[in-house]
Amino acid sequence: MAGTFSGPRIGVALGGGSARGLTHIPYIEAMDELGLRPAVIAGTSIGALIGAGWAAGMTGAELREHSYQVLGTMRIIAGKLWATQLRGLGGILKNGISIQLDATSIVDAFTPPGFPLEFRELKIPLYVVATDFQSWHQVVFNTGHLRPAIAGSIAIPSLFKPVVYANHILVDGGVVNPLPLDQADIDTDFLIGIDVNGDPSQGISKTDHKALDLWFGSAQIMMHSLTAHMMAAYPPDIYIRPHVGTFGAMEFWRVREIVMHAEKEKDRFKRILDSKIEAWIANRQPVLPS
């Protein structure tokens, strides 16, 4: 019966980290190249957005190409943001110009044409983590409408307006669960966590922090602490934390640099993953009587 053993059911947790989350893409490509398909994807913030594309059937290469197209220059990003914010002169006269972005419009603007509307249309089960601002608890979506769930998960406080959906007032999932290992561990055998929050090494000697640096840096410290507790409760079989400190949290226009930066780690990740999957299979082979 040894030949009937197949690989493990893989759960992948894609963490939040704003623009740094674009480093998820080379790791998705690595799994594609090894012929490995997750059984469950869980995502927080940009991890939810990229995870939704993966769950919808996009390959890592397609995610890369799409990211280059919609984030390739500041002009492209500004044009999309301008279009989603203003909605024409009537919108300005009626609503004024808000300094807060609308997360649902952002999801619509930056997803490809024909992107699924419902979780049931996805090819891989997806768990999207957001934060309920009123109850202070995490909210996990895996059924119903897809886009408002993602919008709630990416709604960074102050930068985005909260998303009102399913009797919740939602803000960024990173506030409660920046690396959703607990969700990726549902009915899976092998757990991978990709933590794109960064680390302090790049800015450890810097002293001239701007106000925005302090705001995002404080959020990173909070998310680092939350992730440590999550890893203690749900230890991943593979934990990846790319060094992304050189990239600003909102520097999405540096998409090519960010993706290529993580590309250097792709082969190492493939070797580790291939070795650990082989070991998992070997440990489950029955011992034949001599």
Question: Catalytic amino acids?
Answer: 45, 172
C-alpha distances in angstroms, 214 versus 97, 127, 207, 217, 253?
26, 30, 11, 5, 21
What does the DSSP assignment read for 227-275?
HHHHHHHS--SEEE----TTS-TT-GGGHHHHHHHHHTTHHHHHHHHHH
Instruction: Report d(CA 199, CA 96) in Å as an integer.
Output: 39
Q: Which helix H or strand E contains 281, and what residues bound it?
A: helix 266-283
Question: Can you tell me the distance from the alpha carbon of 228 to that of 230, in angstroms, rounded to the nearest whole number?
Answer: 5
**CA nearest 126: which of 233, 50, 30?**
50
Three-state DSSP state, 140: strand
| Upper half-sphere CA count for residue 203 (Cβ side, 13 Å) | 19
Q: Phi and psi (nearest 5°) for 13?
A: -100, 120
Q: Would you say 102 and 138 are in contact if contact means Cβ atoms under 8 Å apart?
A: no
Provide the 3-class DSSP secondary structure of residue 196. coil
